[in-house]
Amino acid sequence: MSDTETMQVVYRSDYRPPTFWIDHVELEFDLDPHNAIVTTKITVRRNTDQPSRTLELVGEQLKLLSVSVDGVALNDDEYTASSDLLVLNDLPARCEVQTKVAISPVTNKALSGLYQTSGNFCTQCEAVGFRRITYFLDRPDVMARYQVTIRGDKSTCPVMLSNGNRIASQDLGDGRHEVVWEDPHVKPCYLFALVAGNLKCHRGSFTTASGRDVALEIWVEPQNIDKCQHALVSLQKSMKWDEDVFGLEYDLDVYMIVAVNDFNMGAMENKGLNVFNSKYVLASPETATDDDYLLIEAVIAHEYFHNWTGNRVTCRDWFQLTLKEGLTVFRDEQFTADQTSAAVKRIDDVAGLRAGQFAEDSGPMAHPIRPESYISMDNFYTSTVYRKGAQIIRMYHTLLGQDGFRRGMDLYFRRHDGCAVTCDDFRQAMADANDTNFDLFDRWYSQAGTPELFVTSAWDESAGRLTLSMRQSYPDLAGDLPGTKDRKPVPLPIRVGLLDAESGAELSQYNDVLLLETESADFQFEGLDRQPIASVLRDFSAPVRLRMQRSDDELAFLMAHDTDAFNRWDAGQTLATGMLLKMAQQAADGQPLDEPKLFSDAFAKILTDDSVDEAFKALAITLPRESVLGQEMDVIDPDAIHTAREFFRRSVAGSHRDQLTALHQSLAADGPYSNDQQSINRRRLKNVVLAYLVSLDTPETDQIAADQFSGADNMTDQQAALAILANSNAEQRIAALDEFHRRYHGDPLVLDKWFAVQASSSRAGALSEVRRLSGHSGFTIDNPNRVRSLLGVFSVNQSVFHQADGKGYELLGDYVLLIQSGNPQLASRLVSAFNSYRRFDTGRQELMLRQLKRIASEPNLCKDVHEIVQRALK
């Protein structure tokens, strides 16, 4: 760690209001890549609740040039300053503080604060990047009005943007020009943004429900100007949806989105000026897949929804992050469900939750959705805060219904608009608006770990009564983790339905949401003629691991008949999981593997079922991911899992080869590319079917993939065929990879795909390929998307990353050390791949520990990586 950086732990319980408020901020930027000058005037007012005459402004790597109070320059003895702290003593109750600092955007590789990307200036301030721009009260409860003046070269910075409205501009005569922006809304500094450079604008507009015209502007590098229409339409849909569903209108005359190539996260909701990773803006059928299109729509919506849930009402302190992120993820999930298919969206989200969040929640980084402490806040932009946080919001929605939830939201805005508040405030608004009590929900905010829900059923033939006995508990976690002591039962809304065991028909009078608030309870269903089949935890109504003894036949029955699409899919996953785990054990023991007969039969039935769409079919026949299977083993055996899953797939494909070939053929016969929902669904199914076919490892099936690759008129089909070939022994594999590279090496987002398909391949020798690719001329550690495409994808490729000789661990360790000094946030994401080490055999544990210790002993370790590694080693 560098000596200016402190490894201080920040605790939620230490929250104190600031000693001063800031009412107004005037920023002036004289842009220069090496020596940008930032002049800041802040009008401060003593907080009468916290009387103090001392104002402590934080900074990070700043060079202070001057400081004055009420226009009088301070002498050296009237303040103390370092590159990360400026302390002013004996201030009057109100005054204006002016500071001037110098910063260097071009050497800022951390991509936090003011930095350069593809020659343009841009900022990222959440969570604590503003202090890298100027000395400030860099905390979200300090909300102020901003005026921003930007001066830059007319040639390199023809466009200069900031939050709010452009109120003035002038030519400065010396080859430079100036623009002034004013944001009429108060905001915390993490929502400040500045962008300057050579950008082109794709324009559109939106008229709000109350008749206000809003200019919509998507700013991109000139060569990308024809890839913005999908983002624009996504924005318009989002604006309309938030009006229709929550009655929320946009509140400025202009909404700007800027796409940049170097960005640590997905996107940022800066007031009126969102900055996006270009991956979540740019799209054309030739360069973006259907998944990319969907993600762009979802991320645009997410950032737009933040304008109310995040910006108008923000967080009091960073421990409350899920207040805005959990709620906004919930809102974007609902939005996507409304645009596409609610069932498919729910399945996709839960699959992601289980793969990512459940794993996080059972390892050394387990934390409550409202964490208790952090060293680096950037480490807590986690799937727990985001995705699990969204599931907690969903439970209020499930219990209250859409109308009750809306009442709660309305009250939340009525009470807290323009304020920085807490998760408790949100919970209270939901309860008060509905005359109910959500006190027990507090446990969801303070406890870590994924609850297990044990369900048993008992049938009383003479009484015609089914009893479901439910019990919840938390599994023990290794180590002394925050939020895991004395955990209490949490409120669980459990959606349940009954099916007639003969016809499979829904017994709709028994549909219900049961509420389990205690450790255990019995729920009874009376008046039944014969023993029904229960469908429990429909729509995944609570974020738990369901533990229910069910026979394979019962699961196959649910897979065929459940009217709840989520549970229909989940029954298939549970069935496949049980069979796969048994096969993995056989593989580990050197035994012959069972044929997956029951699943294979159900598989064929799903494919010919006219009652479900192609996207659902694609999901239903997709086997659980290797990492999800691993979570179900006492000791994860990556090789046995891989062997079992490959065998399973090949066996199912072999049993239905003709049906699959014909199905692929008919799906491939669709006309030219179209992006209507049905075509998207059909492509999704087609490409899952293609993967099954190619698993057969025959020249004929390889040729189907090669033909699809060369004949595709869209990136979805092309990339899918390439990924399948890259994971195969097909003789066309190398030629396809070369061809793809030749065609797309000039387009960074498509080149990312070329790296990613190879990093996700699990064929023999895949690991040395990844190592070789890290030396490829197209690879660079300066671009986070490129790093994630190769090393991020590889680190979740279970059988390759966990290769028994530890070479995968070594590769990742090398890059964590290489990246951490320049970009701590990126390095700390990568190093998290070691968090699961306790779940593996002692040999692998040793090898992972060796890397963790090697990283921990690095003399200049950044605090982000330090925090993750220390928690892992504890």
Instruction: State the catalytic residues.
Output: 303
Task: From 235-243, 264-272, 490-498, 774-782, give the range in contact with ligand ARG by CB under 6 A.
Answer: 264-272
Partner whose binding site includes residue 378, from ligand ARG, Zn ion, none (CB under 5 to 8 Å by kind): ligand ARG
d(CA 524, CA 506): 17
Size, binding site for Zn ion by CB under 5 A: 2
Build a one-symbol-per-residue string for 818-837: x at contacts with ligand ARG by CB under 6 A, - elsewhere.
Answer: -------x------------
In whole angstroms, the minimum distance from the beta carbon of 105 to ligand ARG comes to 17
* C-alpha of 250 from chain center: 24
Residue 314: which H helix or E strand, with range?
Answer: strand 314-315
Partner whose binding site includes residue 230, from ligand ARG, Zn ion, none (CB under 5 to 8 Å by kind): none
Amino acid at 245: V
Tokens 């009874």 locate to 524
Task: From 228-236, 259-267, 577-585, 718-726, give the range in contact with ligand ARG by CB under 6 A.
Answer: 259-267
* C-alpha of 710 from chain center: 33
In whole angstroms, the minimum distance from the beta carbon of 356 to ligand ARG comes to 15
Three-state SS sequence of 616-666: HHHHHCCCCCHHHHHHCCCCECHHHHHHHHHHHHHHHHHHCHHHHHHHHHH
Residues 309-348 that bind ligand ARG (CB under 6 A): 325
Coil, helix or strand at residue 691: helix
Residues 90-129 that bind ligand ARG (CB under 6 A): 126-127
Single out the residue of 21, 115, 381, 709 in contact with ligand ARG (rule: CB under 6 A).
381
Decide whether 250 or 616 has the Cβ nearer to ligand ARG.
Answer: 250
Partner whose binding site includes residue 558, from Zn ion, ligand ARG, none (CB under 5 to 8 Å by kind): none
In whole angstroms, the minimum distance from the beta carbon of 842 to ligand ARG comes to 35
d(CA 191, CA 819): 27
Say which residues have a Cβ less than 8 Å from residue 798's Cβ, sequence separation at least 6.
626, 627, 630, 636, 638, 641, 642
Q: Are the CB atoms for 140 and 316 separated by under 8 Å?
A: yes
Length of the chain: 874
d(CA 311, CA 419): 9
Tokens 């390929």 locate to 769
Q: Which residue is nearest to ligand ARG (CB)?
A: 381
In whole angstroms, the minimum distance from the beta carbon of 257 to ligand ARG comes to 13
Closest CA to 715 of 282, 345, 346: 282
In whole angstroms, the minimum distance from the beta carbon of 328 to ligand ARG comes to 7
Task: From 2-10, 300-308, 347-355, 748-756, give the range in contact with ligand ARG by CB under 6 A.
Answer: 300-308
Give the dihedral sign, CA 759/761/762/768: negative
Single out the residue of 268, 559, 644, 793 in contact with ligand ARG (rule: CB under 6 A).
268
Task: From 176-184, 327-335, 338-346, 595-603, give the range in contact with Zn ion by CB under 5 A.
Answer: 327-335
Task: From 210-218, 320-328, 602-610, 645-653, give the range in contact with Zn ion by CB under 5 A.
Answer: 320-328
d(CA 286, CA 851): 41
In whole angstroms, the minimum distance from the beta carbon of 53 to Zn ion comes to 37
Residues 328-387 that bind Zn ion (CB under 5 A): 328
Task: From 102-110, 317-325, 618-626, 655-663, give the range in contact with Zn ion by CB under 5 A.
Answer: 317-325
Give the dihedral sign, CA 248/341/565/525: positive
In whole angstroms, the minimum distance from the beta carbon of 858 to ligand ARG comes to 22
Partner whose binding site includes residue 575, from Zn ion, ligand ARG, none (CB under 5 to 8 Å by kind): none
297 touching ligand ARG, by CB under 6 A: no
Residues 532-571 that bind ligand ARG (CB under 6 A): none
Residue 153: which H helix or E strand, with range?
Answer: strand 143-153
Partner whose binding site includes residue 287, from ligand ARG, Zn ion, none (CB under 5 to 8 Å by kind): none
Distances (CA, A) of 326 to 299, 322, 487, 635, 651: 14, 5, 22, 32, 41
The single-letter DSSP state of residue 591 is P
Give the dihedral sign, CA 813/819/824/828: negative
d(CA 274, CA 255): 8
In whole angstroms, the minimum distance from the beta carbon of 628 to ligand ARG comes to 24
Partner whose binding site includes residue 651, from Zn ion, ligand ARG, none (CB under 5 to 8 Å by kind): none
d(CA 419, CA 140): 10
Decide whether 124 or 835 has the Cβ nearer to ligand ARG.
Answer: 124
Q: Are the CB atoms for 454 and 550 separated by under 8 Å?
A: no
Task: From 178-186, 319-327, 345-353, 776-784, give the range in contact with Zn ion by CB under 5 A.
Answer: 319-327
Q: Which two tokens stand for residue 451?
A: 């609850």
Decide whether 129 or 451 has the Cβ nearer to ligand ARG.
Answer: 129
Single out the residue of 31, 103, 265, 749 in contact with ligand ARG (rule: CB under 6 A).
265
Q: Are strands 545-548 and 452-460 parallel, antiparallel or unpaired?
A: parallel
Contacts within 8 Å (CB) and 24+ apart, 763-770: 763/726, 763/727, 763/728, 763/729, 766/797, 766/800, 767/800, 767/803, 767/807, 767/808, 767/811, 770/794, 770/800, 770/811
Q: Which two tokens stand for residue 814?
A: 């090398």
Q: Which two tokens stand for residue 27?
A: 């920023």
Decide whether 127 or 431 has the Cβ nearer to ligand ARG.
Answer: 127
Decide whether 126 or 348 has the Cβ nearer to ligand ARG.
Answer: 126
Decide whether 269 or 752 has the Cβ nearer to ligand ARG.
Answer: 269
d(CA 554, CA 550): 6
Residue 150: which H helix or E strand, with range?
Answer: strand 143-153
In whole angstroms, the minimum distance from the beta carbon of 301 to ligand ARG comes to 11
Decide whether 326 or 483 has the Cβ nearer to ligand ARG.
Answer: 326
Decide whether 290 or 864 has the Cβ nearer to ligand ARG.
Answer: 864
DSSP H helices in 114-163: none
Distances (CA, A) of 345 to 214, 300, 363: 30, 17, 27
Q: Are the CB atoms for 50 and 28 separated by under 8 Å?
A: no
Q: Are the CB atoms for 421 and 315 separated by under 8 Å?
A: yes
- Count of CB atoms situated within 10 Å of the CB of 203: 11
Partner whose binding site includes residue 664, from ligand ARG, Zn ion, none (CB under 5 to 8 Å by kind): none
In whole angstroms, the minimum distance from the beta carbon of 543 to Zn ion comes to 19
Size, binding site for ligand ARG by CB under 6 A: 14
In whole angstroms, the minimum distance from the beta carbon of 132 to ligand ARG comes to 12
269 touching ligand ARG, by CB under 6 A: yes
Decide whether 302 or 664 has the Cβ nearer to ligand ARG.
Answer: 302
Task: From 260-268, 435-443, 646-654, 807-815, give the range in contact with ligand ARG by CB under 6 A.
Answer: 260-268
Single out the residue of 141, 221, 290, 378 in contact with ligand ARG (rule: CB under 6 A).
378
Which residues in this chain contact Zn ion in the complex, by CB under 5 A?
325, 328
Which residues in this chain contact ligand ARG in the complex, by CB under 6 A?
126-127, 264-265, 267-269, 302-303, 306, 325, 378, 381, 825
